Amino acid sequence: MNIAEAKEILAGTFSFTVDDTDRVIQELNLPGDAKILDVGTGVGNLAITLALHGYRVLTGEPADDDSIYAKQEWHANAERVGVDHLIEFKAFDAKDMPFEDDTFDAIFFLGTFHHVEEDFRARVLEECVRTSRAKALICLFEPNQTCLNMIKELDPTHPEGADPTENAGHLPLASRKIEGGMFDAYIFEK
């Protein structure tokens, strides 16, 4: 199924994330067999978009997250667009990832990093560096102000967006930013 068809079927939040994430995924042009981690499963928007590109994705969120953003219907959404077989779920906390060193070629976050408490954001990026391979990409999509204004109408308690470069200064990473209509992508390369 192509992205446009999936957008019609899933609608909802998929429609307002997919244009930005799809553009960046195309630009990154990862190899088809890339080992990919998606941090913060939510409703599965990013894992599904990656899977629609043919990638296998490991996705997860903390087992003890009882917020409205966790334990969502990601699997049913993936089934509706025929990519559930490409997505595997494992509960984990990004502050202490249960993965070996040098495991992933790319680690993605969509709307997740600002949900991590500020004091632990540097630690999460350190875990990304540890668990990713040489030359890996770490790509964090964070909501811009237009997107935050929309989200806050539904959830006034929602945290502000984060700029991950503020937590990455001590790490051996090159960074660049791609601005989107709703989500900016902060891309770090090892």
Least Å distance between CB 116 and ligand SAM?
5
Piece of 62-70, 99-107, 130-138, 178-186 that binds ligand SAM (CB under 6 A): 62-70
62 binds ligand SAM (CB under 6 A): yes
For ligand SAM, which stretch binds (CB under 6 A), given 2-10, 34-42, 162-170, 182-190? 34-42
The yes or no reply on residue 46 touching ligand SAM (CB under 6 A) is: yes
32: Cβ contacts below 8 Å, ≥ 6 apart: 54, 55
Strand order in the sheet with 174-178: 87-89, 57-60, 36-39, 104-110, 132-143, 183-189, 174-178
Which 3 state secondary structure label does DSSP give 188? strand
CA-based R_g, the chain, Å:
15
Among 35, 98, 56, 47, residue whose Cα is nearest residue 75: 47
All residues at 6 or more sequence positions from 146 whose CB lies less than 8 Å from its CB, including other chains = 181, 182
Q: Is 100 helix (H, G, I), strand (E, B) or coil?
A: coil
Q: How far is the CB of 29 from ligand SAM (least distance, A)?
A: 20
Rule CB under 6 A: is residue 121 a binding residue for ligand SAM?
Answer: no
Tokens of 32: 């088809």
**Contact region with ligand SAM (CB under 6 A), list: 90-98, 127-135, 159-167, 177-185:** 90-98
Judged by CB under 6 A, which of 23, 28, 30, 69 binds ligand SAM?
69
Site size for ligand SAM, by CB under 6 A? 21
Q: Is 39 in the site for ligand SAM (CB under 6 A)?
A: yes
**Can you give the binding site for ligand SAM, defined by CB under 6 A?**
39-46, 61-62, 65, 69-70, 93-95, 110-112, 115-116
